[in-house]
Structure 1
Amino acid sequence: MNNLTLIKNAHVFAPQDMGRQDVLFAGQQILAVGHHLDLQGDTLHVVDGSGKLLLPGLVDSLVHITGGGGEGGFHTRTPQMNLTDATLGGVTTLIGALGTDATTRTLTDLLAKAGALCTEGLSVYCYTGSYQIPARTITGNITDDIVLIDKFIGIGEVAIADHRSSQPCAKELMRLASEARIGGMLSGKAGIVSIHVGEGASRLALLEQVVRESDIPASQFYPTHINRNLDLLEAGMAWAAQGGFVDMTTSTNAQFIAEGEIPAAKALAMCLQRGVPVSQLTMSSDGNASLPLFDAHGRLIGLEVGQVASLYQAMVEAVQQYNVPLTQALTSVTLTPARILGLTGKGRIASGADADLLLVDDDTLAIDSVYAKGRQMVAEGVPLVKGTFE
């Protein structure tokens, strides 16, 4: 029998505010949530949650787990993600993706890395495809990849409004989305289409055309980087009014902000203030993507790497700097992405849900402990489990 863990007297945000509760879990599953759960036994481990909040583990919908970048030459390919890059930032579930480079980065390598991270303790899924259309696949088509390969839950990140995209037309994107949608229906998965939105002036016009000229709903698409600039954020809010989802990117640098990027936490607050439901709003890290630095003449002078930990940092920033209620900020990085991605056991604290949990300081929201699939990964802010080569 799996050992039982009982967290007592924590203030539970599930992500809704449940007040002080006890949470019991064993193996990978939460067994009970309630007041005064009193058990005894040799296999019971009791954790005192007094003075702490208990939150669901974060769901990060876009991470370049095998590395990204490369647009500045081979030496600009960013490194792979390590296990503790996620766990120390409270991320217990993530979606791996390819980006610009689907030549030196491959789907088979992506699946292998996902399998490695799962073995090390995380829950990891993937998108087939990459920036390009026609899509790179393993089986030969998008539908078969999603139906037949367990970890594939959709396709992405397909690039639009970007000089690095394949410059797809509406009909090409319709066909791609249709194949993903059918794959999702047949396999019981989301079949979502993750969309990379660049700096191009067309913004979300291509998605709007697809929805207008086909039977594919706006909810089939999951556009990201919507906080790239104010014009794109405005387009994102209009897209949400049509039933679409809006995702903000948390990895950034000072140069991006100076050039007009809106910090993800601020963009989340702006959307909520404009009445966009949190059920349509998410943040993701774009972890291990490249963040290029340029001089005044536009020459590449350095690279920073996107951080998975920026997701939790942005959630805290939304609460502490932009007065977003914790329930809403937390929902944007737990329950909402889990629902969009069709991950029913993720993003919530409830009986029968997966035992992905964070204990954080009640005042500062600093992470104390992280449990992923019921296994404690972090204690007192220090990793108990490291990746194989960390």
Structure 2
Amino acid sequence: MSCILIRNADVFAPEHIGINDIFVVNGKIVALGRDLVINVPRLEVFDAKGKTVMPGLIDQHIHVTGGGGEGGPVTRCPELKFSDLVRAGTTSVVGVCGTDTETRSIANLLAKVRALSSEGVSAWMWTSNYAMPPSTVTGSVRRDLLAIPECIGVKIALGDHRSSFPTEQEVMHLLSDIRVGGMISGKTGFLHIHLGDMGNVAYDILDGCVNRGMPIKHIRPTHCQRHAETWARSVAFAKRGGVIDLTCKMGIHGDAAHAVADALDAGVAPGNITVSTDGYGSMPRFDEKGEMVGLTVCPVTAIWDEFKTLVPLCGMERAIGFVSTNLARNLALPGKGVIAEGADADLLVLDGALEKTEVMARGRFLMRAGEVVVKGTFED
């Protein structure tokens, strides 16, 4: 039995509840309160005096098996390294596939998601990629949702030159499969949509499906701020009750944090906004003349940079929502995104400069004193 007592933490749960002790047993928070009296064998005590503790981050869009490939085999991105998640403070991840429907199989995605879970974080997946009809493991969207615990929904692309350009009726049919698959599997079921630059193409379809009676809760667009037209339609979609996902370090605002602020100013409910990284997707590098000189991957650590920008813009409690609590609630991930009795012990310990000193996932320290102490299976 693993027992850890975190004392004297200034807790944002995400609500600021002040100085508390947190008692963790076998990966769960079993007690939260002031001056807890705990008497159990082999108790580890960690003193967090002078530090802040918040929920671990949740990233719903990482190419865990590597994205890219649009420039031929040499441009295929590498797989996600576990230690990068630790450095980011990301304790829960949803893996995705992208453009490459041929060499990046969904079975491979599932295997990587399970590997990440074994290594120490919580992991789920979107089945399929950019294509229609969807690519699945079992041959059916409904069966993937039913038979694969890690599968929470389906990914497609709309309004992008790399998409399959499905019709509204085809998307409606897919949403019906997701809805029914969710019903029979005990999940909500979501359609996670990569939005391209053709915002009207995508949203004419999505709004049409909602207007025909499909519950808006099943529709989850991402990369919403990449283009002015796409952004305007995304804000309107969120104001009618949809949830929009903003991508780190990209788009018309320059970053996700200022897109969040713009959406709030436009009247979007804070709970309807989330942030993700597009981690391990391909990202071009340019020289001072604007010429592309190479490729790198989108960093999963960008979510922490966005969080630190969000704090002065909208406050600590709301900032935590955009990178953690809102995702847990909107994706129906029980025990995530909060610090409460019965929740998973996914915790970040921060110093006064909002730098991570400790990262805990499922009750296990992955970072101590600012150093990664748990790495992936094949990492040095």
Q: Same fold (TM over 0.5)?
A: yes
* Counterparts of 2:290 and 2:170, CA distance in 1: 33
1:360 to 1:95, Cα distance in 2 relative to 1, 3 A:
same
1:141 equivalent in structure 2: 140
Residue of structure 2 in register with 1:85 after alignment: 84
Letter in 1 for 2:166: P
Aligned match of 1:328: 318
Residue 349 of structure 1 aligns with which residue?
A: 339
Partner deviation per Cα, 1:115-172 (whole Å, 9 max, x = no partner): 111111011111111111100011111011101111111111x101100000111001
Pairing partner for 2:328 from 338, 343, 349: 338
- For the 8 Å contact 1:230–1:262, the answer to whether it is kept is no
**1:261-280 → structure 2 map (5 Å cutoff):** 261-280=253-272
Contact map agreement 2:198 2:229 (CA 8 A) in 1? no
Q: 1:21 Cα deviation (Å)? A: 1.1
TM-score by length of 2: 0.95
Query: Is 1:61 paired with 2:60?
Result: yes
Between the aligned partners of 1:276 and 1:347, the Cα distance in structure 2 is 21
Q: Give the conservation status (yes or no) of the 8 Å contact 1:233–1:267.
A: no
**Cα offsets for 1:271-291 (capped at 9, x unmatched):** 122221121100001110011
Which runs of structure 2 are paired with 1:225-264 in the superposition (5 Å)? 225-252=223-250, 260-264=252-256
Which residue of 171, 174, 187 maps to 2:172? 174
Query: How far did residue 205 of structure 1 move?
Result: 2.2
Output one character per residue of 1:20-75: Cα deviation in whole Å (capped at 9) or x when no partner: 11111111111011111122343211111111111111111111000001111111
Give the letter aligned to residue 43 of structure 2: L
In 2, the alpha carbon distance for the partners of 1:16 and 1:325 equals: 11
Find the residue that maps to 1:333 and give its secondary structure: helix
In the alignment, the residues of structure 2 paired with residue 234 and residue 294 of structure 1 have an alpha-carbon distance, to the nearest angstrom, of 29
Task: Report matched runs for 1:167-246 at 5 Å.
Answer: 167-202=165-200, 203-212=202-211, 214-246=212-244
Q: Distance in 2 between matches of 1:99 and 1:326?
A: 33
Q: Secondary structure at the match of 2:145?
A: helix
Residue 122, structure 1, aligned to residue 113, structure 2 = no
Is 1:315 aligned with 2:307?
A: yes
Rate the CA distance shift 1:100–1:261 in 2: closer, same or farther, 3 A.
farther
* Local SS of the residue matching 2:259: helix
1:282 corresponds in structure 2 to 274
The DSSP-based 3-state class of the residue aligned with 1:271 is helix
User: Counterpart in 1 of 2:354?
Assistant: 365
Give, in whole Å, the separation in 1 of the partners of 2:249 and 2:81: 16
Q: Match of 1:86, SS?
A: helix
Work out whether residues 127 and 154 of structure 2, in 8 Å CA contact, stay in contact via their aligned partners in 1.
Answer: yes
Matched, 1:387 2:371: no
- SS in structure 2 at match of 1:172: helix
Scaled by the length of structure 1, the TM-score of the pair is: 0.93
**Corresponding residue SS for 1:332:** helix
Asked if structure 2 preserves the Cα contact closer than 8 Å seen for 1:65 and 1:80, the reply is yes
Partner of 1:378: 367
> CA–CA distance in 1 between the matches of 2:293 and 2:178?
39
Is the 1:229–1:262 Cα contact (8 Å) retained in structure 2?
Answer: no
2:280·2:299 contact (CA, 8 Å) conserved in 1? yes
Question: How far apart, CA to CA, are the structure 1 residues paired with 2:61 and 2:294?
Answer: 23
2:95–2:125 CA contact under 8 A, matched in 1: yes
SS at match of 2:37: coil
Write out aligned runs for 1:93-108 (5 A): 93-108=92-107
Separation in 1, partners of 2:265, 2:32: 32
1:87/1:378 contact within 8 Å kept = yes
The aligned amino acid for 1:153 is I
CA shift for structure 1 position 251: 4.4
Contact persistence 2:253–2:259 (CA under 8 A): no
How far has the Cα of 1:297 moved from its partner? 11
Matches of 1:228 and 1:117 in 2, distance apart? 29
In the alignment, which residue of structure 2 is the partner of 1:164?
162
Query: How many percent identity over aligned positions?
Result: 40
RMSD, matched Cα: 1.8
Mapped partners of 2:49, 2:199: distance in 1: 51
Conserved 8 A contact 2:199-2:233: no
Specify whether residues 166 and 293 from structure 1 end up closer, same or farther in structure 2 by C-alpha distance, changes over 3 A only.
farther
Query: How many residues are treated as equivalent by the alignment?
Result: 378
Question: How much has 1:298 moved relative to structure 2?
Answer: 9.7
The answer on whether the counterparts of 1:99 and 1:130 sit within 8 Å (CA) in structure 2 is yes
CA distance in 2, matches of 1:296, 1:308: 25
Change (3 A) 1:103 1:87: same
Find out whether 1:306 has 2:298 as its counterpart.
Answer: yes
Q: Give how far 1:201 is off.
A: 4.5
> CA separation of 1:9/1:68 partners in 2, compared to 1, >3 Å: closer, same or farther?
same
Whole-angstrom CA distance in 1 between matches of 2:170 and 2:27: 41
What CA deviation, in whole Å up to 9, does each residue of 1:284-320 have, x standing for no partner? 0111001135789998542221111111211111114
